[in-house]
Amino acid sequence: MTPEEAVSQLRADVHERAKITVSAGIAANAKLAKICSNKNKPNGQFFLPSDRQTIMEFMKTMPTRKVNGIGRVFERELDAIGVKTCGDIYAHRAYLPKLFGQKAFQFLMQCYLGLGRTKIQRAEDYERKSVGTETTFKEMQSPDALRDKLRYIAEELEGDLKRTEYKGRTLCIKIKLHTYEVHTRQMTPPFAVHRADDLYKYGLPMLEKLMKEIPNMRLRLMGLRATHLVTTKKPGIDFFGRVKPPGTTTKPPKTTDEGDWETWPEEEFEEAARRERNDEMNELEKLSQEQDVQQDQRTSPSNGNDAPDPPTEEQWTCPICSLPQSPDDATFNAHIDFCLSKQTIKEAVKSTAPPAPKLEKQVSVSKTAQKKGKRGRPKNEQVASEQQAREKRRAFFSLVYPGGTGH
């Protein structure tokens, strides 16, 4: 059986049992297979022969955004220097390490050559940010059927959370309409959740709210995701019998590249792109939550007793005095000029001011000599001043004239 026949049979079995379509890519490595899987969506497969010439021709016209690991920001940076397809990478190879660094240069050259990983890493080896599950199904519209599906997903998520030993402080729901439009909502339960009953309890209001917002909603995908995870692992005992805090794992030391396989930068760029997608998803969730709050404020009846919250005024921080200023260009520039002029005046005064007189060292006196006299002056100082006065009077009356005697 050829690889194409095996994948075709696998897709047919999935369609027969789950009643969903699957797209697949067949290539020499994971990067090429991922790109090929997007060729014949939603129900097809694409085979790329494993010879160098065919792979080079395939990647020559491939847009950079289609490569897993190149996100929206990196795509714009490459487009700014003229790299629109993977075939343009080689022509601009002299600028890439200076602009993006050596690792980015290696990653882009691997994209140009069609190189990728052939070793598949388990999901447990990555640092987990969330635990979620989602399922694709035939188009579903009945509210009761959607609630039953949510209950099923909550039970699946409970099993995943139990297996990974986590609880979530934030619960997110994701739906995909029959038009492939994706909507997400999130909420924060009063406590970290991991049981199916709690997941269903706090996920159902979000689903019902989506039903009200989207009339005649027909879904083909639904999922739940727990974020802001809290570990449920029990503290273990180390070699010396001390209790180890939960979440501490002993990582094996990293091996060097000398005499071993080359460390590929592909994983780092895929992780960066994954973080970028997560940030975009979190931003969409925040925007959706803000829209929900605005709609609730519009639809909720206004009571006469409730005073509106004062709007928070935007302020700019002065980089010199660090004080907040009004967000006006002219006012802000005038304030900066004033701060700079004050600083200049201070520096000018410091440079032109005479040096401060140096204080003579004070002679330390004993504790007995520090006792004050009648007028509050120490006795030793009083005696010394009287002796100086006598010497001055003696010097005044004992003048010596030339050829004579003093009077």
pLDDT tens digits along 58-68? 999 999 999 98
The last residue of one of the domains, among 180, 196, 231, is 231
How do residues 147-193 score in pLDDT, each as one tens digit? 999 999 999 999 999 998 899 999 999 999 988 888 999 999 999 99
Domain count, the chain: 2
- Angle ∠(189,220,123) on CA atoms, nearest 5: 60
Pick from 66-75, 230-239, 314-323, 390-399: least confident = 390-399
What pLDDT does residue 325 have? 80
Cβ contacts of 407 within 8 Å, gap of 6 or more: 397, 398, 399
Using CA atoms, how far residue 374 sits from 349, 368, 371, 379, in Å, is: 45, 16, 10, 9
Model confidence at 315, in pLDDT bands (50, 70, 90)? Answer: confident
Position 7 in a domain: yes
Are 235 and 245 a contacting pair, CB within 8 Å? yes
Question: In terms of pTM, does the model score above 0.75?
Answer: no
Position 187 in a domain: yes
Using CA atoms, how far residue 175 sits from 132, 223, 239, 274, 363, in Å, is: 13, 6, 48, 20, 86
Which domain range does residue 183 map to? 129-231
Which helix (H) or strand (E) covers residue 169, if one does? Answer: strand 166-177
Position 57 in a domain: no
Model confidence at 320, in pLDDT bands (50, 70, 90)? Answer: confident
Average pLDDT score over the chain: 75
**Neighbour tally for 214: CB within 10 Å:** 14
Position 160 in a domain: yes
Q: Name the token pair of 274.
A: 């994954």
Cβ contacts of 145 within 8 Å, gap of 6 or more: none
The last residue of one of the domains, among 215, 231, 247, is 231
CATH code at position 216: 3.30.1490.100
Which has the closest alpha carbon to 59: 119, 110, 102, 104?
110
Position 148 in a domain: yes
Residue 28 has pLDDT above 90, yes or no: yes
Provide the 3-class DSSP secondary structure of residue 97.
helix
Position 203 in a domain: yes
Position 43 in a domain: yes
How do residues 370-406 score in pLDDT, each as one tens digit? 444 444 455 555 545 566 656 555 544 444 444 444 4
The last residue of one of the domains, among 9, 28, 50, is 50
Residue 364 has pLDDT above 50, yes or no: no
Using CA atoms, how far residue 171 sits from 138, 152, 219, 228, in Å, is: 25, 16, 20, 9
The fraction of the chain above a pLDDT of 90, given in percent, is 41
